Structure 1
Amino acid sequence: MTKHPDDQKRPTHGVRDPVAFTSLVERHSADLHGYFARRAPQAADDLLAELWLRAYAARRGFDPARGSVRAWLFGVARNVLSAHWRRVMAPRADLPGPTRDDPWEAVDDRLAATAIAPRLRSLLAELPPEERELLLLVAWEEMTPSEAAAVVGIPAATARTRLHRARNRMRTGAARDMTGDPA
C-alpha cells in the first residue's frame, strides 16, 4: 500500500487543475480500488470510476486545511460506497421483508482467518457504524487515526477515542469467545 505523507505539502492546484488531476488518479487509484474491493468486491471497478467522476467534479471544493488529498479522496470514496449500498439495499416492492444497510456477509470471503470469520463479522456488526468505519480505515486502508478522522468528518481526538473503544470491544469480544466466558 502506497503512502503519500507529502500530500498536504503538494500545492492544491494539483487537485484543482484538470491536467494535474491525472497524477492523483495514478497515485491513488490502487489504494482506492482496494478500499472498494474489500467492501463491495462485485462493484469495485464501477465504484472507482464513480469516485473519480465525483472527485473531479468536486475538486474546487478541496480544502487542504481539512486534511490531505488522500483523506479527501477516501472521504469521497466513503460517500460513493454509501450511495451504492443505499441503491443496492433499497427496499423493493417485489421483495418481502427488511433489508440490511451493511453487507457484512461479504466480509467472510475477505477474512484470512476463516475459522473466526463469523464471530469477527458479528463483532464488527455490533460496533456503531462510525466506529466500525474508523477501525476498517485504520486496519484495511492503513490510515492514521487523523486521516481516518478526516474521511469520517470528525475531529482527530474524537476519532482516536472511538477507535480505542472499537478496538477494545473487538478485543473483549474475541477474548470472551476464546475463553468461553459468556459475560
Structure 2
Amino acid sequence: MSNDEVFAAAYRAHYWAVSRYVARRLDGRTDEVEEVVAEVFTVAWRRRADLPASPLPWLYGVARNCLANAVRGHGRRRRLVDRLGNDESAHGRQIVHSPDTEGPGAWVHDALARLSPADQEVLRLTVWEELGIDEVAVALGCGSRAAAMRLHRARRRLRAQIDTMRPTPPPASATPSKEHRHG
C-alpha cells in the first residue's frame, strides 16, 4: 500500500475513536472537537510515511499534542476576553448547576479531576480508550516500563483521592446487652 492508502485506511478506521478521545478531553466544548480532530489528521497526513502498523496509539499521541495547543489557545483567548471586559459573567449570565444534576458516577470524575493532568491521561488511555500498556507507551511517547509505572502510580493516587472523598461511616453504636439480670 502507498503512504496515501495507509493514511486513508487509518483515517477511515480511527476517525471516530480519535473524535471520542478529543471530545472527552474537551469536556463539553464541542465546537472545538472538529477543529482539533482536523488538526490531528492534518499532522497524520503530513507524517503519513511515519504511520506505524497500529496507528491508533500514535494518533492518540498526536491528539494529546493538538489538545495541549488548543487548551493553550483557549486560555489566551479567555485572558483576552477578560482584559476586554466582555466576559459573559460580567453581563450576569452564569450557569449554575444544582446538586440534582450530578450523575451517579460523578464522584469518580471529581476524584479524577483532582489528579495531575499526566495521571488523568494515563488512566483515560487505559480505561476510556481501552489501550494496553504497550499502546499507552506509544501514545505517551515513553517506554512500556515507564508507562506501566505511571499507570500504577496514577491508580494509587486515584484510590487515595476516592478514599478522601468517601464519607466516613458513623461509629458503631454500643448495642445494649441482651442479657437481663433478674433479681
TM-score normalized by structure 2?
Answer: 0.70
- The one-letter amino acid of 1:178's match is R
Aligned to 1:103: none
Equivalent residue, structure 1, for 2:21: 35
- Number of the residue aligned with 1:148: 136
Amino acid of the structure 2 residue aligned with 1:60: A
Give the structure 2 partner of residue 59 of structure 1. Answer: 48
> Which residue identity lines up with residue 173 of structure 1 in the other structure?
Q
Q: Distance in 2 between matches of 1:93 and 1:83?
A: 17
Identity of aligned residues (%): 30
Letter in 2 for 1:92: R
1:160 aligns with 2:127: no
Equivalent in the alignment of 2:123: 135
Which of 49, 74, 92 is the equivalent residue of 2:79? 92
* Residue aligning to 2:37: 48
Question: How far is the alpha carbon of 1:115 from its aligned partner?
Answer: 4.3
Q: Secondary structure at the match of 2:131?
A: coil
> What CA distance in whole angstroms lies between the structure 2 residues aligned with 1:30 and 1:116?
24
Aligned residue identity for 1:55: A
Residues 37, 63 of structure 1: alpha-carbon distance in 2 compared, 3 angstrom cutoff: closer
User: How far apart are 1:83 and its partner, in Å?
Assistant: 0.9
Rg larger in structure: 2
Residue 160 of structure 1 aligns with an amino acid whose one-letter code is: A
Structure-1 residue corresponding to 2:5:
19
Secondary structure at the counterpart of residue 82 of structure 2: coil
Q: Over aligned residues, Cα RMSD in angstroms?
A: 2.6
Tell me which residue corresponds to 1:114.
103
Detail structure 1 runs of 4+ shifted over 6 Å in the superposition.
none
* C-alpha distance in 1 between matches for 2:149 and 2:61: 20
- Structure 2 unaligned residues grouped into runs of 5+: 84-96, 170-183
Is 1:134–1:149's contact at 8 Å kept on the other side of the alignment?
no
Structure 1 contact 71–147 (Cα < 8 Å) conserved: yes
How many residues in Structure 1 have an aligned counterpart in Structure 2?
149
Structure-1 residue corresponding to 2:57: 71
Residues 6 and 48, structure 2, Cα contact 8 Å, conserved in 1: no
Structure 1 residues 93 and 20, CA, compared in 2 at 3 Å: closer, same or farther?
closer
The alpha carbon displacement at 1:63 in A equals 5.5
Structure 1 unmatched runs, 5+ = 1-12, 97-107
